[in-house]
A and B are shown apart, each in its own frame.
Chain A
C-alpha cells in the first residue's frame, strides 16, 4: 500500500519541481518568438489550465504509457527512453568491470607488497584515477588513443554495422552476441573501450584502497599464519584464503561505486558522444525539455523506491529478526 502512495507522492513532487524550474515549454521557445506565439504554445500544452488539471493531463498520460514528447530527441519519450537507458547501462556495467578488475587487481598487488616500492607505485596509479577530473582525463584519452594513435573510435558504433543487426535488448554487445555477428561484437567492444576505461579508472581508486587495506588486515590474521605454517605456497595463501576474505568489505564498496559510475556517465557520454541517458538529460536540462526531465526524474525516483523495497526484503531474508509488515 505504501509503495503506490510513495510513487504518487514522488510524481506530484516531480511535476511541481518542473513547474518551478523554468518554463515548461522552454525547448520550444526561441529568442525570435513574440508573446502571441508563446501564448499559442502555452495553450497547446495546457499551461493556461490550473496546475492540478495540468497534473491530471500529465499523470493520465504516464498511466497510459505516454510520457510526452521529447523536444531534444524529436520523438516520444517512451520511444527513446529504453534505447538511451540500455546505452547507459552498457557503459556503466563495462566501466564497473574495468573498475573492479583494476581495483581488485591493484589492491591485491599492493596489499601483498605492503610498504614496498610496488605498493607505493600502485597506490599512486590508483589514486591518480580519482584525482584527475573526468572531463580532462577523457579528453586526454581521446587525444592519445583516437587522434594520436587512431586505435579507438569515438561514439557508440559504426552506424552501418549497428544497423546490420537486430537490437532486441538495446545492449549493443549483447545484441551482437545474440545475432552471432563477430563484426558487430568487435565494433561494440572497440567503441566501448575508451569510455569504459576512462570512467572505470576513476572508480578504481576507492576499490583498490579498500582491497589493499582489507588484504593487509587479513594477511595479519592467525589463519594466514596457520596456512603458511602448514607449508602452503604464499601465492595460494593469498589467493585461496586472504584475498577471498578481503573481498567481503570490498564488494560493499563496489556496490556503492556503481552509483558513482552512473553519475560519471553524464560527463563520459557528453565527451565520448555516447548516446545514453546522461547526455540526453544534460541536453534536456540545458534546452528546457521538461517532458524528458520529468520522465527521467520519475524513472529514477521510482527505481530508487523499488531498490529500497528489494533491500528491505533481502534484509528480512538475511536477518530473521527483521519482520516485514509488523
Chain B
C-alpha cells in the first residue's frame, strides 16, 4: 500500500509539473505575441474585391467571422513581411533559373538589372544603368546595333564590393557561357553579339541584328541580373554547360534585400540591405514555402501570412474574411491556350484518337474549335470572373495589342458546326485527346473544351489526359509532340516580339516543332511580318505590323486562347504599399515597396 501511494503521489506531482510547464509556455507564448502589438492599420478592415475585366466592386465588411484571432488594429510581426509562396525555387542563380519558376521571385528582390520594369505598366526605368538607352539620347547607335549603358556609381554588392561595368559584362558573359538549357540564356545568346567594358562605369553591347525588342526582352529579364564577379570567382567560377552549386542557393546581388537563409522546404529569409543605393526597403521578408492553397488561406486569415500567392479559385474561401484585402485588377500576360499540333507523325497519337495526322492543317477545323469554345464559362467559372475573354496572341497590356483586331470571344456553336461540316468532320465526328497538367486551371480549360465540343451535334469525343506536371513537361518537350492538342499558358514577356517569334512564327521555336507552316495560308507572309516588326524601331509602324498580324491570325488561328487570367492576390489590410505588376515574375510583387 505504501509503495502504491508513493507511486501515485509521484505521478500526480509529475502531472502537475507538466501541466504547469504547458500553461507557463502558453502564457509566455501569448506574451510574445502581445508584445509585438503596434499601431492600428490605416486601411481599416474592409475587404475590397475588384472584379476582373475592369468592373470593380466593393464587398461589405465581414459580418461575423469569429475565427479571426488578431483584434482590429493588432499587427502580427510588425517588423517582418511574411509571404506564403507555392513552390520551392529550383535555383536562385539568374544563370540557372527557369522562366516562371519560384526562384525568379527571389531574384527579383535580391538582384538588380540594368533596367527595370516600372511600378506602373510596362515602361522601363533605370536600374543599375542610369539611363534607358534610346536613339534620341544617343545610347543606341543609328544602325540600332550598339547599346551603351552608363553604369550607376556608388552601388555596392551585399558582400561589400563595388559594382563596376566589369561585373555587368561578367554577369552577361557568364549566362551565355554557361548556357544552361533550363535557363533563359537564349534571350541573350540569340541577340547579343559582343559585350565590352568601355570604362569602369560604361558598358556596351553589340547586337547580332537590330532589335526593337532587346531592352524589353533581354535587359530586364531575370537571367540578365547582375551578380558579383568576386563572389562567383571565389566560389567555383564559370564552367561552360555546368551550373554553379554555390550560386544555386546563395546570392550576392545589389538589391534592396540580401538573402540571409534558405531553409529547404521551410522558408527563404531576406533582410533589408542597409547599403542599398536606392530607396531602402522597410521590412525584412520571410517567404514561407510549399503551403497548400488551403493552408495559405488559413494562414492569411490567422494573420500569420501578410500576403499569399493566390489564384481565382481561392477567392471564395477568402471573400468576407475580416482584415483581408482581395486584389483583382489587371490581367496577367500569360494567355491560357489550347495548342494545335500540325506536325503529327503517323501512329503516335493516343489509343482511341481517330483524327488524321493533317487534321489541324485545315484552317476551318481550327476556326471551328475557336468558335465552339465556351469562353464565358471558362472566365466566369474557372477564373471566377477574374480574367477576360477578349485576349489575342499579343496579350492585353503589352505593346502592340490591337483592341480593334477581331477575336474569338463568344461561343458560336452554329458556326462551328458549319465549319466542321464543310471540312467533312460533321456529323460523322471524331475522337481526339488533349493533354494537360492535372489539378489546375489548364485542366479546367481542357474540360471546358471537352464540354464545348461534345455538345455540338457532330459525334465528337474529346479525351482529357490530365497528368502530373513533370509528365506534361516531358510530353510537351518532345519533337514532334505525340498529342494533337495541349493546354498550357504562355510565358510572360514584356515585348510582343517574344510572343510572336516564340509561338506564332512558322520557323520559330514552336512554329517549327508544331508544323505551323503546314497550316498557315501564307506562312512566308506571317514570318516576314514578325521579322519586320522585330527590327522596326518606329513604334507606330511597329504597332501597325502587329495589328496586321493579329488580323491574319484571327483567320488562321494556331491556338485557341481560352482566356487571359486576371491578377488575383490577397493580403492583410495592415500591409501598405502593396503593388503588383504582372510583368514582374509571379507573384508580381516587389516586397521592398511594402510596409506595415
Q: Do residues B269 and A149 form an inter-chain contact, with CB atoms below 8 A?
A: no
Q: CB-CB < 8 A to A222: which residues of B?
A: none
**Any chain A CB within 8 A of the CB of B288?**
yes
Is B294 close to A, CB under 8 A? yes
Alpha-carbon gap, A249 to B100, bound state (A): 55
Q: Which of A31, A40, A190 is the one whose CB lies under 8 Å from B488?
A: A31
A to B CB contacts below 8 Å, 9 in the list: A26-B471, A32-B100, A34-B510, A36-B181, A74-B262, A75-B264, A146-B304, A150-B33, A283-B265
A280 — nearest CB in chain B belongs to which residue?
B265
Chain B contact residue count (CB 8 A cutoff) = 63
- Of the 9-residue stretches B23-31, B164-172, B409-417, which lies at the interface with chain A? B23-31
CB-based nearest B residue for A149: B69
Judge if A174 is at the interface, Cβ distance under 8 Å.
no
Whether the Cβ atoms of B67 and A29 lie closer than 8 Å is no
Which of these binds chain A: B86-94, B153-161, B224-232, B375-383?
A: B86-94
Q: Complex formed: what's the CA distance from A146 to B288 in Å?
A: 16
Beyond the given pairs A28-B182, A30-B182, A148-B69, 10 more chain A to chain B contacts, judged by CB atoms under 8 angstroms and listed by A's residue number, are A30-B100, A31-B473, A32-B491, A34-B509, A35-B477, A35-B479, A148-B67, A150-B70, A150-B302, A279-B265
Decide: A147 and B88 in contact? CB cutoff 8 A.
no
Bits for A162-194, please: 1 = Cβ < 8 Å to B, else 0. Answer: 110000000000000000000000100110000
User: Which among A33, A155, A162, A190 is the interface contact of B182 at CB below 8 angstroms?
Assistant: A33
Check B473–A30 contact: CB distance below 8 A.
yes
Once the chains bind, are B298 and A26 in contact (CB under 8 Å)?
no
Min CB distance A176 to B, Å, is 12
Chain A 235-247, CB within 8 Å of chain B: the 1/0 string?
A: 1100110000000
Q: Say if the beta carbon of B476 comes within 8 Å of chain A.
A: yes
0/1 interface trace, chain B 466-481, chain A, CB 8 Å (1 if under) = 0011111110111100
Question: Range of interface residues on chain A?
Answer: 35 or more
Given contacts A74-B90, A143-B298, contact A275 B265 (CB under 8 A): yes
Contact residues in B for A163 (Cβ distance below 8 Å): 261
A275:B182 contact, CB within 8 angstroms: no
Is B540's beta carbon under 8 Å from chain A?
Answer: no
- Could you tell me if A30 and B101 are in contact, using CB atoms closer than 8 angstroms? yes
Number of inter-chain CB pairs below 8 Å: 164
The chain B residues found within 8 Å of chain A, CB to CB, are: 4, 25-26, 28-29, 33, 66-70, 88-92, 98-101, 181-182, 241-242, 245, 248-249, 261-267, 269, 286, 288, 290-292, 294-295, 298-299, 301-302, 304, 468-474, 476-479, 488, 491, 509-510, 513
CB distance from B524 to the nearest CB of A (A): 22
Given contacts A74-B264, A154-B299, is CB(A288)–CB(B471) below 8 Å?
yes
Residues of chain B lying within 8 A (CB to CB) of residue A147: 67-69, 298, 301-302
Nearest-CB residue, chain A, relative to B437: A31
Q: Quick one: which of B265, B269, B304 contacts A84, CB cutoff 8 A?
A: B265
Q: Which of B241, B264, B288, B302 has the most CB of A within 10 A?
A: B264
Complex CA–CA separation, A84 to B88 (angstroms): 15
Residue among A22, A233, A273, A275 with the highest chain B CB neighbour number at 10 A? A273
- Give the docked Cα–Cα distance between A139 and B298 (Å): 9
Q: Kindly list chain B residues whose C-beta atoms are within 8 Å of the C-beta of A151.
A: 26
Give 3 closest A-B pairs by Cβ, nearest first: A288-B470, A35-B479, A26-B470
Chain B residues with Cβ below 8 Å from A162 are 263
| Docked pose: A159 CA to B269 CA in angstroms | 9
A180 to chain B, nearest CB (A): 16
Most buried by B among A23, A74, A150, A190: A74
Which residues of the other chain, B, contact A273 by a CB distance below 8 angstroms?
266, 288, 290-291, 295
Residues B474 and A23 in contact, CB atoms below 8 Å apart: yes
Q: Which residues of B contact A74 (CB under 8 A)?
A: 88-92, 248-249, 262, 264
